[in-house]
Amino acid sequence: QVQLVESGGGLVQAGGSLRLSCAASGSLFYKVNIRAWYRQAPGKQRELVATITSGGDTNYAESVKGRFTISRDNAKNTVFLQMNSLKPEEAGVYYCNTPTGGVRWGQGTQVTVAS
């Protein structure tokens, strides 16, 4: 299996930026497929925010297009999410996983956006 450790969250003012990181360890079979970021706002279901393919193609939720950037260090099996111009409604716990949410979830990293 795989262990996921997300980091980089914190408190930021609206309009600010954060860079999230996700380190994957464990089975190589699973590590190479950790290519997505999700967000779970308080009282809401977890939602897919961004994905990146093995070829580097990216896809984003409509609400974050142009402001968020997903990237991956394949050598280190680390996934990043650069978040710019953050909005208060984007606060929540951010998680990494496969694009289908197919492995055990990590603890996530909390993002708080003050208005």
pLDDT at 28: 85
pLDDT at 29: 84
- d(C-alpha 85, C-alpha 63), whole Å: 12
- d(C-alpha 86, C-alpha 1), whole Å: 33
Report, as ranges of residue numbers, the positions in the chain whose pLDDT lies below 50. Answer: none
Helix, strand, or coil (residue 28) = helix
- d(C-alpha 9, C-alpha 37), whole Å: 13
pLDDT at 1: 87
H-state helical runs in 1-115: 28-31
Pairing of strands 109-114, 10-13: parallel
pLDDT at 82: 98
